[in-house]
Amino acid sequence: MSGFTDSNALSERVKAIPGGDMLMMCYSCGTCTSKCMIQTKLESSYNPRRLIREAVFNMDDAAFADKTIWLCTACDLCYPACPQKIHISGVINAVKALAVESGKKTPYQVAKVDELTCVACGLCVKICPYEAISLVEKRVAFRGTIPVASVDQGKCMACGMCTAACRSTSIRLAEDYNDAELIDTLLSWLGTERVSS
């Protein structure tokens, strides 16, 4: 662990990123952790309070290995609840930015573009709440050099709004959750006999 005033220390680097500046004010009350539903619904190790603590104590390795940085969607439910008025997702995002800078990648799925069918209409670009999609000129097999949608892995939070917006079913989240499975189970249920009472 490096010293507290070392400008290379994690806490100092987090502070220097806009949004991360308030981190030292956290008194670890835990309000943010219980306001956020990720721990109870998705990932039991999720804990924004602990992540802030790791940053305060300059524990780079622990912070960068913490799943919290990849799962926070910056919904900011916790922000108005924090008694210290800390912009928690700002701090988390700052740590995430530093993790990405040091070469870490999200272990979670991100949206994937099917470049063979993408028509570069830009609907997904407009709807993505994280500004993760842009249209890029690209050489695509069989199609030549054409504009297609491209997803920034560091920004995509896997919400799937792009998949709902895409009119050519060219962008999708394949793992964990997929359209085919949802529709298949839906259709097979609807195909069953009506329940009578």
Partner 1 sequence: MSETPKLVLFQCQWCLFAPADQEWVDTQLPENIHLAKVPCTGRINPLYLLNAVQSGADGVMVSGCLPEQCHFKTGNIAARRQLEEFSDYLNHIGYEQDRIRFLWLDLQDRGVIQKELAAFEAQITALGPAHNLATRVAETVGGANA
Partner 2 sequence: MVDAARQPLIEVKTFTEVEKVEGYVGNFVVTLREKTKYVRADRCNGCGACTKACPVEIPNYFEMNLAPRKAAYIPMSQAVPLIYNIDMDACIHCYKCVEACGALEAIDFSMEDKLVEQEIGAIVVATGFSHFDPTPMTEYGYGRFPNVITAMEMERLNNSAGPTNGALIRPSDGKSPKQIAIINCVGSRDKRYNPSCSNFCCMYAIKNALLLKQMHPDTEISIYYIDIRTPSKGYEEFYDRARESGIRFIQGRPSEITEDPDTHQLFISSEDITLGKVIEREYDMVMLNQAAIPQPDQNHMSSVLNVAQSPGGWFMEYHPKLRPIDSPTDGIFFAGACQGPKDIPASVAQGSAAASRASRILHSDSWQIEPTVAVVWPDRCVSAKGQACGICARACPYGAIDYTKGLAAEVITAKCHGCGACVGECPHDSITQLHYTDAQVLAQIRTLLAVEPEKKILAFRCQWCSYGGADLAGTSHFEYSANERGLRVMCSARMDADLIYEAYRLGAGAILYSGCHPQDCHYITGQVVGAKRAARLEKIFERMQMSPGRFRVEWISAAEGDKYARVINEMQASLDAIPEDVLKAEIERLRPEMAKKLTKLDEIPGVAQALVQVDFIVNEMVGKEKVA
**Closest CB to ligand SF4 among 6 and 131?**
131
CB 156, CB 111: distance < 8 Å: yes
Q: Which two tokens stand for residue 85?
A: 């008025």
Bridge partners of residue 146, in order along the sequence: 138
Count interface residues toward partner 1 (CB under 8 A).
36
Q: Which two tokens stand for residue 70?
A: 């990849």
88 touching ligand SF4, by CB under 6 A: yes
C-alpha separations of 92 from 122, 123, 158, 187 in Å: 29, 29, 17, 41
17 touching partner 2, by CB under 8 A: no
194 binds, among ligand SF4, partner 1, partner 2, none (CB under 5 to 8 A by kind): partner 1
47 binds, among partner 1, ligand SF4, partner 2, none (CB under 5 to 8 A by kind): partner 2
φ, ψ for residue 177, nearest 5 deg: -150, 130
Q: Which residues of 152-187 are buried (b: 16+ CB within 10 A; e: fewer)?
A: eebebbbbbbbbeebeeebbbbeeeeeeeeeeeeee
**Closest CB to partner 2 among 43 and 152?**
43
Query: Interacting stretch for partner 1, rule CB under 8 A, among 23-31, 35-43, 94-102, 139-147?
Result: 35-43
Query: Interacting stretch for partner 1, rule CB under 8 A, among 20-28, 52-60, 133-141, 181-189?
Result: 181-189
Q: Binding pattern to partner 2, positions 80-109, x when CB under 8 A?
A: xx-xxx------------------------
